[in-house]
Amino acid sequence: MKTRSFIVSGAPHIHENSSIHKIMWNVFAALIPASFVSVYAFGMDSVRVLGVSVISCIVLEIIALLFMGRNWKAAFDGSAAVTGLLLGLTLPAGISTGIILVGAVVAIIIAKQVFGGLGNNPFNPALTSRVFLLIAFPGPLTTWPLPRGLENIKDFMGVATVKAGDAITTATPLGAIKENAVKAMPSIQVNDLFLGVHTPGSIGEISALALLIGAAWLLYKKIITWHIPVATILTVFAISLLTHLISPDKYADPFFHLFAGGLIIGAFFMATDYVTAPIFNKGKLIYGVGIGILTIIIRLWGGYPEGVSFAILLMNSTTPLIDRFTVPRPFGFRKARNQS
């Protein structure tokens, strides 16, 4: 009898063929519609911001991996590109290239690689970087150029436009109601916010529709689950509805809060970051509600007009705790005791 040798390896011998690479580049692709809208609204400035951010994040990741003697090809797994794109999308179109580079260093080196790279960072790198920039460079980070179609306005929602160098800048819708609540409210249509082309703001947050198209893709590909975004958005909606009913003159209506600012991009693309969010479904709901509450508190009563970044980062820090208290019941436990 003739025998033959074979290759041996551990079970299972088949794999779903999923990979980090596929997941991350799918997230990247899901942000493309929002990126296109931003280029339409802000032109080449948007291309510059996003391009510099993505490329510098990938280059820094390569440098960091080489420095630590790790496989530098992991820089192309898509996670650095996603961080770069998310960081870019949270910045104003007029931001200087130098500040973007500082942001990339904070995101990739300080928020990610120092902790051990992908999978080990406690805080979302793009958000950490954005909040760092907001505190370090408050001026440039809150200078909002006028998007296409609004070039000739004198004021936006009651806030006068300002000439800053070559550009004319104004407030975001959330900034406007913070400064000028009563006058501002009637002058913006939820429609405009939803389509987003005619509102100032961070380049990626202006079109809720484009973001939702990307989010639908992620849900369809089962890359994210509904738990975190739905919990976050419903919480914001519920609280803002309540405050609006109590005092419509003082507080904007719930739809305004949904589509103005970074709630959509935050809830679907940042809060759902695997590494920094709770892992069990029950935990995800708690986490989402927490983000919603913190966001609306900061928006309505805090010092900053927008609170999504802070809310997500604060909730990032609660992730280990939430995970600990939401472990599901293993098969056969407890329930078995009540039988028989």
Nearer to other proteins, 19 or 187 (CB): 19
Report the nearest approach of other proteins to the CB of residue 17 (Å). Answer: 9
DSSP conformation letters of 302-331: SSSS--HHHHHHHHHTTHHHHHHH-PPPPT
Nearer to other proteins, 144 or 268 (CB): 268
Site for other proteins in 50-89 (CB under 8 A): 71, 74, 77
Here's the x/- map for other proteins, 276-305, by CB under 8 A: it reads as: -x-xx-------------------------
Backbone angles phi, psi at 277, to 5 degrees: -105, 160
Site for other proteins in 83-142 (CB under 8 A): 116-120
CB-CB contact of 35 with 50 (8 Å): yes
CA-CA distances (angstroms) from residue 177 to 192, 302, 334? 16, 13, 52
Q: What are residue 169's DSSP bridge partners?
A: 145, 162
Nearer to other proteins, 17 or 247 (CB): 17
Site for other proteins in 1-20 (CB under 8 A): 1-16, 18-20
CA-CA distances (angstroms) from residue 332 to 55, 103, 125, 324, 339? 50, 49, 39, 20, 11
CA-CA distances (angstroms) from residue 311 to 263, 291, 308? 10, 5, 5
Nearer to other proteins, 23 or 203 (CB): 23
Report the nearest approach of other proteins to the CB of residue 127 (Å). Answer: 16
Residues in the chain: 340
Report the nearest approach of other proteins to the CB of residue 71 (Å). Answer: 8
Nearer to other proteins, 3 or 247 (CB): 3
Residues in touch with other proteins (CB under 8 A): 1-16, 18-20, 22-23, 71, 74, 77, 116-120, 274-275, 277, 279-280, 327-333, 335-337, 339-340
